[in-house]
Amino acid sequence: MMNIILFGGPGSGKGTQSARLIDNYGLYHISSGEILRDHIKRGTDLGRTADSYISKGHLIPDDLMISIIEHTLDTEAKDKKGVIFDGFPRTIPQAEALADLLKRRNSDVHAVIGLEVPDEELTARMLNRGKETGRADDNPETIEKRLKVYHEQTQPLREHYIKKGQYIPIDGTGQVDDIFHSIREGLREKTGAEASKS
């Protein structure tokens, strides 16, 4: 079992690199943002609640997010050989809850991949994604708010995981293939895991 957290600012390439990790390591993908967007699309109660936060660039409350992840771990992700957490945790209480959830399932976090990208590039990428995909929260006002929230609430997790010896810093600028190559090297060093494809 190998559980990996993919960590980084909004627009840092978590979704893109997740797709490669799933393919190469056979991991199950849990993207908190995708779960929430799916609820919004289906018009569920949870979707309506989530939308009221997401559209303002705020994080949804920890308790709600943690219970969604717990439910996913016990349903879709049950019996998988490992999980890639994409966009979760985003706060220290979420990180502590995740450690606890995994411990209770006789597991652990094995590595945290940190995609490090400067703010200016994050902004440019999100504006571009907004144009290409129509993603509602990729607009200038919400992007500014999301970056502020990232620095205030999420970035402290970097230090948290460095202290735990789980953090793998990755330069998230440049070509997608080169970034994935660095991730593979980092994972091999930290966990001994080898990608199935070369």
| Binding site residues, ligand AMP, CB under 6 A | 10, 32-33, 36, 53-54, 58-60, 65, 87-90, 94, 137, 146
Catalytic residue among 20, 125, 163, 188: 125
- Residue closer to ligand AMP by CB (options 150, 180) is 150
Residue 8: φ, ψ to 5°: 165, 165
Element (H, E) at 103: helix 92-104
Catalytic residue among 105, 146, 148, 188: 146
What residues contact residue 21 under an 8 Å CB cut-off, 6+ apart? 4, 6, 27, 84, 183
Active site residue 105: no
Q: Which of 73, 118, 67, 66 is nearest to 92 (CA)?
A: 66
Report in angstroms how near the CB of residue 137 gets to ligand AMP at its nearest. Answer: 6
Report in angstroms how near the CB of residue 197 gets to ligand AMP at its nearest. Answer: 26
**Residue closest to ligand AMP (Cβ):** 33
With DSSP H G I counted as helix, E B as strand and the rest as coil, what are the percentages for the chain, rounded to 5? Answer: 55, 10, 30
Report in angstroms how near the CB of residue 198 gets to ligand AMP at its nearest. Answer: 30
Q: Do the Cβ atoms of 191 and 110 come closer than 8 Å?
A: yes
- Residue closer to ligand AMP by CB (options 20, 145) is 145
Strands (E) located in the chain: 4-8, 28-31, 83-86, 111-116, 167-171
Report in angstroms how near the CB of residue 38 gets to ligand AMP at its nearest. Answer: 11
Active site residue 184: no
Active site residue 90: yes
- Residue closer to ligand AMP by CB (options 62, 186) is 62
Active site residue 158: no
- Residue closer to ligand AMP by CB (options 13, 87) is 87
- Residue closer to ligand AMP by CB (options 150, 167) is 150
Catalytic residue among 80, 129, 135, 190: 135
Active site residue 131: no
Cα–Cα distances (Å) from 46 to 32, 52, 101, 109, in that order, read 13, 10, 22, 27
Residues, the chain: 198
**Residues tagged active-site:** 14, 90, 125, 135, 146
